[in-house]
Structure formats: C-alpha cells, structure tokens
A and B are shown apart, each in its own frame.
Chain A
Amino acid sequence: MMRIPLLLAALVLQPPPGQSEFVPVNELPAADKLPAAPFLIAAYAFVWIAVMFYLWTIWRRLNKVEADIDALARKTPHR
C-alpha cells in the first residue's frame, strides 16, 4: 500500500523524453532574446579561440622542430 505513492512520485519525477524534431518559428518571444545572447556568443567565441589556440600551438611546435632540423643540418653538412 505504501508503495503506490512512491510509484506515483517516481512516475511524476521521470524526465521528459528527448526532443525528436526541431520546429522553426518566425517570431521569437521577447523574453528569450536577451538572456540567451551572451551564452550563444560565448559558445561561438570559445570554438574560435580553441581552434586558433590549437593552430598556434602547431605553428610554435613546427618552428621549434624546423630550428632543430637546421641546427642538426649544420652539424652534419653532408646530409
């Protein structure tokens, strides 16, 4: 008997099912505009910064390797 309220509570507390389709709308509710913008900009900015940073690390490591190759080539000129 005690289990019925618990079962009901468990059913009520279930998360909603995952969204299966995106439906476009023409008008965005005004309340949605401002709070979302900083998050959206932050997300796009993060991707740009992460990719640029990674490119910079490749460029920096490549410069170091090229310097090593030059130094070794000077030590072994016949190669």
Chain B
Amino acid sequence: MKKAFGPLLVVVAVMFVVAPFLIANAPYESTMGLIQKIFYYHVPSWFAMYLAIAVCGAASAVYLFKGTPIADAYATAGAEVAVVFGLCGLVTGPLWGRVAWGVWWQWDVRLTTALLLELIFVAYLMVRRFGGPGAEKLAAATALFGTATAPFVYKSVDIWRTVHPQTTVIPTLKPSMGGPFAFSSLAFLLLSALLLTARVHLAKRQMMVDEMYLAYEDQS
C-alpha cells in the first residue's frame, strides 16, 4: 500500500478535478433543479463515511477480542475519517435542504439518526482522548455500537415516512445522472481509503514513539 499511495493520490486528485465537469454536464432534476447537484457530493460523503465505519467496526472487534495493537490503529483511523466525512454529509445536507425543503433541518428519522451516528464516533474520539488508561477498550465497544447503528441509518428512509429521498433514487438513476454519481462515489471511496492509509501510518509511527520512550526509560 505504501508504494501505491503516491500513484493513488494522483488518481484521486485527477478524479476530483474531473468530477465537477461530469456533474455540471449531468441533467437537472425535474423538481429540485440545480440544488439537486449537491447529491453528487452529499451521498458519496456518506458512502465514504460508511467505508470508514466498516474499517473502524471490524478493527475494533479484532482489538476488543484479540487485543492486537495494529487493529487499534485501524480503528482510530476509521473513526477519525468517519467523523470527517460525516461532517461533510451533515453540512452539505442542510445546504441542499434549505433550497429543496425551505428549511435547514428537519428532525425526521434519517437526519436525526445520521446526526446520532456522527455523535457516536465523536464520542469514540473523545473517549480515546480523555478516557485515560484502558480507554481503548471502551472506545472499541463504542465503535461496535456505532457500526451496528449504521445500517439502520441507511435503511431508515425506507422503513419510516420521512421527507428525505429514499434509497431507491440511486438504483433508479438515469445513466446521464448515474455515470457522474458512480464516478464521484468512486472518487470519495478512494479518498476515504487514502485518508485511512495516511492515518494508519501516523498511528504506527506514534506506536513506535511509545515503544522508543519505554526503551529509553528502561535504559536510563
């Protein structure tokens, strides 16, 4: 992955330069017009968040049951990246809603559960930051709850009556809209993977510093 990081970074950068042109050429949606184009960044942001949550959840489970330090590094990286993309989704959504619905926010099931999901992973990071010794295990358990919540957030629009568009809008997209959306989603997923890789690298170096400190203290 270390060797692939540079070329992949270039590919993602190029994709993010190309994506706005594809989105600009995509047709306007019949009821929402121009503002619906936020969709091409808003939904991929959530996809990127779900990828990071999956990594965080899987790594947290491994860390909780096996205690592998590297799994903890992946879990931390996943939580941080999830919070970043969750924030993107939570900011772009109200910007879309202000024009499409006339309000910044609705306390409907999708918006509320999405906010709660973001707060669970913010809680994860706060537990790690301020939890003291043993906080890693507590944070890992929090991450499992967050990961279990994510599928409910995604399906909430289909289960409950809400003003938010349903998940069926994605499989029913016309090719002229589906193409730019798939391209944008791929760019966000690759970006999420890149950020995860960079953050895991940082965590590994931090672990190395801790080991060196311990060795230095043993010596002196």
Contacts and interface: CB of A to CB of B under 8 A. Distances in A.
Contact of B198 (A24, A55, A68): A55
A68 B139 CA distance: 26
B25 to A, nearest CB: 12
Using C-beta atoms within 8 Å of the partner chain, give the interface range for chain B.
35 or more
A39 B164 CA distance: 18
Interface in A10-27: 14-27
Q: Is the interface of A mostly helix, strand, loop or mixed?
A: helix
B166 A18 contact: yes
Contact of A43 (B31, B91, B206): B91
Contact of B166 (A19, A28, A46): A19
Nearest to B27: A24
Interface in A51-79: 51, 54-55, 58, 61-62, 65-66, 68-69, 72-73, 75-76, 79
Interface of B: 20, 26-31, 33-39, 41-42, 45, 80-81, 84, 87-88, 91-92, 95-96, 98-99, 108, 157, 161-166, 168-169, 172-174, 176-177, 191, 195, 198-199, 201-202, 205-206, 208-209, 212-213, 215-216, 219
